[in-house]
Structure 1
């Protein structure tokens, strides 16, 4: 009988322990646990530093329209005459001056044509001298009635023809000079070389770009905006541009909305001019942020956030005492940062003296 009683007591004790464990893990027993997101109060005295409040604000909800940075003014450098490329004197990224030599073509053929044109001019000049002498001779004979009017007309026609051929030969010389000059391809404007599309030994042809350069330093973002959102964008509007590679934001002004949608992607091209910055380059990836609504958010100074290991902590006043609280932050908003969890807004926060943004 005592053995059965002992077994019963053991079973009852085990059941009681199981019930207590279930109640504890379910949160029904308050054994001095710390509230989620907080640690126990450290002090009731005001710490040194600045006291600020978490602000509850409304932030815009943006649609990120992806795009590429391109020069505002892009120029294709081409040769005006065909020819074999001997050398290219510009590299991508190089700044060039107006009329600076960029490409040199084989000019031997054009030099030969210039010599031929000059020789033809010399021959026509000799023909003009001969025709003029004959014209003067017939004119004197006609005055002495030793030549007929018909001979005079023929001499005049011969002189006019010689003069016309001389003028044509002169134009040929000028054209040959111009063609020879075109074997030196120069920069049409001051700017920066973006791409090199040819190499020595290639055949240069009119209409085939050899280099691509930008005039000045102006860049713009050409973003693809879905047709359902294009009505929210207008020329002259200032929008934010994100550059993920540099982790920065810039304000851009919408210059143009291309009035034609891509039927494959159902998007419009929106061109937004960026402020000049030496660290921006054509071809970089960017996002044009298009406002589509607003949402509530809590903002706090970034300097109030301190990293404890991998945890983000703030010092917050709770029930008259200063204590540490764990929070989760989101995107920076200038000197502030968004608190995604751990704060509701209105709480007093402490910024340590000489505190810096995380």
Structure 2
């Protein structure tokens, strides 16, 4: 009867080992854990190919367009949930049954199973919601799978569902802890920034006033005029940094109004147009005229787009292209704006830090632009 496992104890060993790995270290790399499970199933059986397909986040949450994460020895072309929609719908009621290609009558399901090179498909449920499938191909010797071995594989599929659920709980907890840590760090930084900014701002105003009075007392052709002008410019630059510090530490209260996002973007581009031309940068906008108005703070939106577009311009000192695209989401209740440039991109080691206050790779940057965004 046992035609799929090499020995009677193989299935029991596999289950025990799997349960041990899941329960021993809940923080184990989740993808590695699932890869281990799939490889273990393949080693303990005479099946040619075994694959695990996970859906992100859940089936058809965005009309089935999401890519499917595939773990296993079988490398498919990139597929979406839409490509296996009939298999997904088969398991939609949350009932744990096994799909056997030799017993299926639905031609659409058969075609999808052939695409996956699957003979058997086991559902992976989390709280009765389908989150993935375990796909098994043909046996190497062309032998059928015994019913008791199917039961063992169903248990393994259940174990995978438990692992998925545990991983999600752990990830949510870690994200919450990270968020709490970041909030506390930003709160402390905000208090420090406010203190420093106030201590610096008042002396700067006094210094600027004195310098301006000195310039008025000097003749226009006095050689000191140029030096004093430099001092005024540097004071203005420092004042701008101080104001950014204050804004970061204590953002101004929102003044919401119906705002045309397209108009905000175009007005921001007008401000940056001269600098873009100097850097030989072309801007290309795809913003529909019929975009709905949004209730938001226009000043805050201008600052967001200014910082993003200014960063893009500074990233391409020898020329390039900036593309701006906008379209509606969620039945016109939201607008997605995408800004892309042909610059060198963000180094991988910096990608996790770019929104941290004071983090910058520029020699003259303050590191507050993206943190304000």
Q: TM-score of the superposition, structure 2-length normalised?
A: 0.17
Q: TM-score of the superposition, structure 1-length normalised?
A: 0.18
* Greater helix proportion: 2
Structure number with the bigger relative contact order (C-alpha 8 A, sep ≥ 6) is 1
Whose Rg is larger?
1
